[in-house]
Amino acid sequence: MKTSNKPSQNLIAWRFILVCVMLVSVFVALIARAAYLQVIEPDKARAENMKRTVRMEKLHVQRGMIFDRNGKELAVSVPVVSVYVDPLALDKALKSRVLRQARKNGEDHVALADNALLLAERKQQLFQEQARWRELSDVLQLPAEQVNKKLRGNAKRRFVYLKRQVTPAVAKYIKQMRLPGIHLLDESKRFYPSGEIAAHILGVTNIDGIGIEGIEKRFDKALTGTEGLRTIRKDAQGREVQVLSEEERVEPEDIHLSIDLRIQTIAYRALKSAVLTYQATSGSAIVVDVHTGEILAMVNSPSFNPNDMSNAAPYKRRNRAITDLFEPGSTLKPLAILAGLDHGVIESDDVINTFPGWMRLGGSLVKDTRNHGEMTLREILKVSSNMGVAKISQLLPKDYLVGVYQKVGFGEDTGTLMIGESSGLFYPNRRWSDFEIATLSYGYAVSVSTAQVARLYATLGAGGISRPLTILKQDAPQPGNRLFKEEDVKAVVSMMESIFEKGGTASSIKVDGYRAAGKTGTSKKAVAGGYGDEYVGYFAGVAPASDPRLAVVVMVNEPGNDVYYGGDTAGPVFAEIVSNALRMLNVAPDKERVAYLSESKNDA
């Protein structure tokens, strides 16, 4: 009997057809899915691809440097590391650890994951049991409560600084701890090699590198630059395979100041010594190149260390040379004589009769310390006679004399462009009495900064040409305006040499190797209702007198003992700055005498 295999063959054919249908269906589904992703909704596929392969990298820029006129670094940026936490990543790590322990102990970890209160309690318990978080607090030298609050205070946050600008050793140790959610961030920190010597000029940046005082603030935009951005594609091994786009970074500018760090250092040390010696409240000094208007030194005492702001009280951080205002006293007497010469009411060889040493103007008294009788203009400056310049002021039209004080820069800033500079207190358009005009001639009825006095003396040193002061290095002298005839200015500068002669208000001061022309000044400080018992000592001048190169002004505020005259407190600082600064600049000496201090005392 023959057996039929027809059912078996049918079964095989059916199976073959089923497999073919399934394969065709799979391929159709794949083709349909590919068509859907690439034709109907391609943006989503591109977005997913971008997430996995495209990276954006910032091209960081360091903050620009600040140099002195000779290329010495005054402010530089150094690399530092900051420590921050990703609280969300830390919370996820703690959750994973808790669930893993629960699974290991045979607990229902799924139910635990759904129980938010119990899970939070377990995470906090685990966090407190781990000693490495306490170790992190110790390494950062921060209270544990403060660190724990940042780590666990808000688990939804992604970025919280733990500590900024840690040392490389601390950063390396934290990296080796391998703490979840703890990361290191490369940053930069501002460093000032000159420390407190140039602190008031340079200012400081905040912890984010933004200028908040001084030159750092004034030129913050130029010093900062702009970060660049690169968009790249990477393969599965993390290798860069394509640069998709690139935004060029804008490099920051470097700032070159007019300051000469050598002269700045000399001036600061001399001023600081005087402030300490005479127990003064404060002091300022400025050195100006009379040919260019460049400020070669600007110092204040007390000062602060910009590299450590923990002891930088606000009163130490004020740039007193441009902000603090005082009546400059007798330092303005050369200007009154120059005004008389310029207007033609006196000649350089005239004699002024100051007998009997006092006079009344509008019911108020103008007087000298004693009756000097008849004096030449040179002698008036030599002994600093109030009567002498007051008599000259009464010969001049009021509007003219007030106008002279206005055009030399009183009542306006000096042009330094520095943050916080004061314009002073001078009101030329008000009604002036005869007595006020007299007091104006010897440095009262006007309040000015040390920088404004320096601009006046730079004008004298430049032969009557006034230039704005500048804190930036100049490639060529700034354009100036001629205010006075050169012969009149030279005559007054020659007269100013007399204060160093025997009987002069600065006879105890000798400038080593150079002839100097200067003027002392001692003014009482104004208080409510009049003048108090505190004094301000000034010494202003130019050198060498034969061909002036530098104008130097020194101010000592509120000397704390019986020595308070400008010739005694500020004079030695002037002599030290001038003699050393001129040598630094290779200016040939115009006399051969050694500086010394005599025992004589002066009253101006």
Give burial (CB, 10 Å; 0-12/13-18/19+) of 348: middle
Burial code of 15-30, b = ≥16 C-beta within 10 A, e = fewer? eeeeeeeeeeeeeeee
* CA atoms lying within 13 Å on the CB side of residue 173: 12
| Residue 210 near residue 220, CB atoms below 8 Å | yes
Question: ∠569-385-443 over CA atoms, to 5°?
Answer: 65
Closest Cα to residue 267, out of 237, 287, 247, 249? 287
| Integer Rg of the chain from CA | 39
Q: Token pair of 64, please?
A: 């620009």
Closest Cα to residue 554, out of 568, 540, 564? 540
* Distance of alpha carbon 442 from alpha carbon 113, whole angstroms: 86
287 conformational bin, left if phi > 0, alpha if psi -120 to 50, beta if neither: beta
- DSSP secondary structure of 194-246: TGGGGHHHH--B-TTS-B-SHHHHHTHHHHH-B-EEEEEEE-TTS-EEEEEEE
* Distance of alpha carbon 152 from alpha carbon 149, whole angstroms: 5
Side chain identity at residue 470, one-letter code:
T
| Residue 595 near residue 551, CB atoms below 8 Å | no
Question: ∠91-92-93 over CA atoms, to 5°?
Answer: 90
Question: ∠314-297-464 over CA atoms, to 5°?
Answer: 120
Catalytic residues: 330
Q: Token pair of 128, please?
A: 């407190």
- DSSP secondary structure of 286-332: EEEETTT-BEEEEEEES---TT-GGG--HHHHS-HHHH--B--GGGG
- DSSP label at residue 499: G
